Amino acid sequence: MSDRVTNTGYDEWLDALAAGEGFYLESPEGHGSLPPRRVCPHSGSTDLSEEPLPDVGAVETFTVVHVAPPSFAGEAPYVTAVADFGPVRITGVLVDVEPADEEIPVGLEVEVDVATHGEDDERAVVLRPV
């Protein structure tokens, strides 16, 4: 893919996460979602405001991936997790843990960050135990 391919809204959200200024979009009904969005996926509202992301989330579910796609070649086993941050859930690579079921408790408290991986230094959302 060309360097010119960008994902406006999402890329800026990653920048904000990396700067410790993570945010989510809130509808007047109080539903949370992540950018880029013009419409709340829960309420249908188009009146979305940026709100600061809670600092700490809890791992709701995870998997230790043993068969990786080419974009994660050579990185297996690694852990992908979905963490509940209250108004939104965030999916990320769970780092700084042993990639083994018995080493990772559901409910583990994590913070969100951005890290690069692979030959192309692709950015990915990461979750790190606090």
Partner 1 sequence: MADARVAGVGLTHFGSHPERTGRDLFAEAALRAFEDAGVPREDVDQLNYGNYMGSITENQGHQAPLMAEAAGLRCPATRYEEACASAGVAVREAVRTVRAGQADVVLAGGMERMSHLDTDDVTAGLSTASDDLFEVRAGMTFPGAYALMARAYFEEYGGTKTDLANVAVKNHANAVPNEYAQYRTEISVEQALDAPDVATPLGLYDACPITDGASAVVVVSAEYAAEHDVDAPVRVRGTGQGTDNMALQDRAHLARTPAADDAAEMAYADAGIGPDDVDVAEVHDCFTIAEVLATESLGFFEPGEGIDAAREGVTTADGDLPINLSGGLKAKGHPVGATGGSQIAELTRLLRGDHPNSEHVADAEVGVAHNAGGTVASAVVHVLEVAE
Q: Which residues bind partner 1 (CB under 8 A)?
A: 7, 10, 33-34, 41-42, 60-73, 75, 78, 80-82, 88-93, 101, 106, 122-125
Which of residues 51 and 122 has its CB atom nearest to partner 1 in the complex? Answer: 122
**Rounded to the nearest whole angstrom, what is the least distance from the CB of residue 106 to partner 1 in the complex?**
5
**Rounded to the nearest whole angstrom, what is the least distance from the CB of residue 76 to partner 1 in the complex?**
9
Other Cβ atoms within 10 Å of 128 Cβ, number: 15
Which of residues 19 and 74 has its CB atom nearest to partner 1 in the complex? Answer: 74
**Rounded to the nearest whole angstrom, what is the least distance from the CB of residue 100 to partner 1 in the complex?**
8
Which of residues 47 and 71 has its CB atom nearest to partner 1 in the complex? Answer: 71
**Rounded to the nearest whole angstrom, what is the least distance from the CB of residue 117 to partner 1 in the complex?**
9
